[in-house]
Amino acid sequence: MSATRPLTADEEKRLVGAAQKARENASAPYSLFRVGAALLAEDGTIFGGCNVESASYGLTVCGERTAVFKAISEGARKFRAVAVVTDTDPPASPCGACRQVLWDQCRDIDVILATPARVVSRMRLTTLLPLAFEFKGPR
Ligand code: THU
Protein backbone atom coordinates (compact mmCIF):
# COMPACT_ATOMS: atom_id res chain seq x y z
CA MET A 1 0.00 0.00 0.00
CA SER A 2 1.44 3.37 -0.97
CA ALA A 3 2.22 5.76 1.87
CA THR A 4 0.07 8.84 2.23
CA ARG A 5 1.89 12.14 2.71
CA PRO A 6 2.65 12.92 6.35
CA LEU A 7 0.40 15.32 8.20
CA THR A 8 1.65 18.83 8.84
CA ALA A 9 1.62 20.06 12.44
CA ASP A 10 -1.35 22.22 11.49
CA GLU A 11 -3.31 19.35 9.95
CA GLU A 12 -2.66 17.21 13.00
CA LYS A 13 -3.83 19.99 15.32
CA ARG A 14 -7.03 20.43 13.32
CA LEU A 15 -7.70 16.68 13.29
CA VAL A 16 -7.10 16.20 17.02
CA GLY A 17 -9.28 19.25 17.72
CA ALA A 18 -12.09 17.69 15.68
CA ALA A 19 -11.75 14.40 17.58
CA GLN A 20 -11.91 16.29 20.85
CA LYS A 21 -15.02 18.13 19.69
CA ALA A 22 -16.64 14.86 18.59
CA ARG A 23 -15.87 13.40 22.01
CA GLU A 24 -18.10 16.05 23.58
CA ASN A 25 -21.01 14.39 21.77
CA ALA A 26 -20.28 10.89 23.10
CA SER A 27 -23.35 9.08 24.35
CA ALA A 28 -21.85 6.82 27.00
CA PRO A 29 -24.32 6.57 29.91
CA TYR A 30 -23.27 2.99 30.77
CA SER A 31 -19.47 3.03 30.65
CA LEU A 32 -19.07 6.79 31.15
CA PHE A 33 -16.04 6.37 28.87
CA ARG A 34 -16.16 9.03 26.21
CA VAL A 35 -14.36 8.51 22.91
CA GLY A 36 -13.88 11.02 20.12
CA ALA A 37 -12.46 10.20 16.71
CA ALA A 38 -11.82 12.18 13.57
CA LEU A 39 -10.94 10.87 10.14
CA LEU A 40 -9.10 13.03 7.63
CA ALA A 41 -10.06 12.45 4.00
CA GLU A 42 -7.59 13.05 1.17
CA ASP A 43 -9.44 16.23 0.10
CA GLY A 44 -9.10 17.74 3.59
CA THR A 45 -12.59 16.96 4.82
CA ILE A 46 -12.73 15.80 8.43
CA PHE A 47 -15.39 13.39 9.66
CA GLY A 48 -15.90 13.29 13.41
CA GLY A 49 -17.33 10.38 15.37
CA CYS A 50 -18.11 9.50 18.97
CA ASN A 51 -19.10 6.33 20.75
CA VAL A 52 -22.83 5.72 20.92
CA GLU A 53 -23.88 3.20 23.55
CA SER A 54 -27.01 1.07 23.64
CA ALA A 55 -29.02 -0.24 26.59
CA SER A 56 -28.39 -3.56 24.86
CA TYR A 57 -24.65 -3.15 25.38
CA GLY A 58 -23.48 -5.20 22.40
CA LEU A 59 -25.14 -2.77 20.01
CA THR A 60 -22.78 0.01 21.06
CA VAL A 61 -20.75 1.59 18.26
CA CYS A 62 -17.26 2.91 18.91
CA GLY A 63 -16.18 6.44 18.04
CA GLU A 64 -13.78 5.27 15.35
CA ARG A 65 -16.40 3.23 13.49
CA THR A 66 -18.90 6.08 13.76
CA ALA A 67 -16.37 8.32 12.00
CA VAL A 68 -15.62 5.74 9.30
CA PHE A 69 -19.29 5.04 8.57
CA LYS A 70 -20.10 8.74 8.44
CA ALA A 71 -17.26 9.32 5.97
CA ILE A 72 -18.15 6.38 3.74
CA SER A 73 -21.84 7.25 3.73
CA GLU A 74 -20.94 10.79 2.64
CA GLY A 75 -18.98 9.44 -0.31
CA ALA A 76 -15.40 9.82 0.92
CA ARG A 77 -13.10 7.02 -0.21
CA LYS A 78 -9.48 8.08 0.36
CA PHE A 79 -8.08 8.86 3.80
CA ARG A 80 -4.86 10.01 5.38
CA ALA A 81 -5.23 9.79 9.15
CA VAL A 82 -7.45 9.14 12.12
CA ALA A 83 -7.17 10.77 15.54
CA VAL A 84 -8.66 9.25 18.68
CA VAL A 85 -9.09 11.22 21.90
CA THR A 86 -9.80 9.71 25.32
CA ASP A 87 -9.22 11.09 28.79
CA THR A 88 -6.98 8.26 30.00
CA ASP A 89 -3.26 7.86 30.50
CA PRO A 90 -2.15 6.42 28.19
CA PRO A 91 -4.96 7.28 25.76
CA ALA A 92 -6.99 4.36 24.42
CA SER A 93 -6.08 2.85 21.10
CA PRO A 94 -8.73 1.51 18.71
CA CYS A 95 -10.30 -1.85 19.60
CA GLY A 96 -9.81 -4.84 17.32
CA ALA A 97 -13.12 -4.37 15.52
CA CYS A 98 -12.30 -0.74 14.75
CA ARG A 99 -8.81 -1.65 13.53
CA GLN A 100 -10.33 -4.03 11.01
CA VAL A 101 -12.94 -1.52 9.83
CA LEU A 102 -10.28 1.20 9.55
CA TRP A 103 -8.18 -1.19 7.46
CA ASP A 104 -11.18 -2.17 5.31
CA GLN A 105 -11.96 1.42 4.38
CA CYS A 106 -8.78 3.44 4.90
CA ARG A 107 -5.86 1.01 4.52
CA ASP A 108 -2.56 2.02 6.12
CA ILE A 109 -3.33 5.50 7.43
CA ASP A 110 -1.67 7.41 10.26
CA VAL A 111 -3.18 6.86 13.70
CA ILE A 112 -2.85 9.62 16.28
CA LEU A 113 -3.65 8.85 19.91
CA ALA A 114 -4.31 11.80 22.17
CA THR A 115 -5.75 13.01 25.43
CA PRO A 116 -7.57 16.34 25.66
CA ALA A 117 -4.21 17.79 26.74
CA ARG A 118 -1.75 16.42 24.19
CA VAL A 119 -0.87 14.01 21.42
CA VAL A 120 0.75 10.98 23.06
CA SER A 121 1.59 8.68 20.17
CA ARG A 122 1.55 8.31 16.42
CA MET A 123 1.76 5.13 14.39
CA ARG A 124 0.57 3.53 11.19
CA LEU A 125 -2.51 1.32 11.22
CA THR A 126 -0.44 -1.73 10.18
CA THR A 127 1.50 -1.36 13.45
CA LEU A 128 -1.79 -1.89 15.27
CA LEU A 129 -3.09 -4.51 12.85
CA PRO A 130 -0.38 -6.53 11.14
CA LEU A 131 -1.52 -9.21 8.68
CA ALA A 132 -5.03 -7.75 8.43
CA PHE A 133 -7.79 -9.93 7.04
CA GLU A 134 -8.83 -9.17 3.47
CA PHE A 135 -11.67 -11.02 1.78
CA LYS A 136 -10.60 -12.33 -1.60
CA GLY A 137 -13.72 -14.36 -2.23
CA PRO A 138 -14.16 -18.14 -2.32
CA ARG A 139 -11.80 -20.33 -4.36
N1 THU B 1 -14.92 2.40 22.63
C2 THU B 1 -14.66 3.18 21.53
O3 THU B 1 -15.39 4.11 21.22
N4 THU B 1 -13.57 2.88 20.79
C5 THU B 1 -12.73 1.84 21.02
O6 THU B 1 -11.84 1.60 20.23
C7 THU B 1 -12.91 1.02 22.21
C8 THU B 1 -14.10 1.28 23.04
C9 THU B 1 -16.09 2.71 23.43
C10 THU B 1 -17.17 1.66 23.40
C11 THU B 1 -17.88 1.91 24.70
O12 THU B 1 -18.84 2.93 24.49
C13 THU B 1 -16.80 2.45 25.61
O14 THU B 1 -15.72 2.84 24.79
C15 THU B 1 -16.31 1.46 26.66
O16 THU B 1 -15.92 0.28 26.05
What digits encode the pLDDT tens for the residues 17-26? 999 999 999 9
Instruction: Indicate the top mutation candidate among 24, 33, 56, 113 to test ligand 1's pocket, ranked by most ligand atoms within 8 A of CB.
Output: 33
- Ligand 1 close to Cβ of residue 93 (< 6 A): no
Taking CA atoms only, the protein residue closest to ligand 1 atom 14 is: 33
Return the ligand 1 atom nearest residue 31 CA.
15
Is 64 among the residues known to form the active site? Answer: yes
Ligand 1 centroid to residue 27 C-alpha, Å: 11
- Ligand 1 close to Cβ of residue 98 (< 6 A): yes
Task: Report the sign of the C-alpha dihedral through residues 121, 27, 15, 98, in that order.
Answer: positive
Which of these is catalytic: 12, 53, 64, 134?
A: 64
What digits encode the pLDDT tens for the residues 13-67? 999 999 999 999 999 999 999 999 999 999 999 999 999 999 999 999 999 999 9
What digits encode the pLDDT tens for the residues 78-111? 999 999 999 999 999 999 999 999 999 999 999 9
ω into 94 cis (within 30 of 0) = no
The distance in angstroms from the start CA to the end CA of the chain is: 24
pTM of the predicted model, to two decimals?
0.96
User: Distance (Å, rounded) from C-alpha 99 to C-alpha 35?
Assistant: 15
Q: What are φ and ψ of residue 52, in 5° steps?
A: -130, 110
CA nearest to 108, candidates 21, 23, 3, 10:
3
Question: Is 70 exceeded by the pLDDT of residue 2?
Answer: no
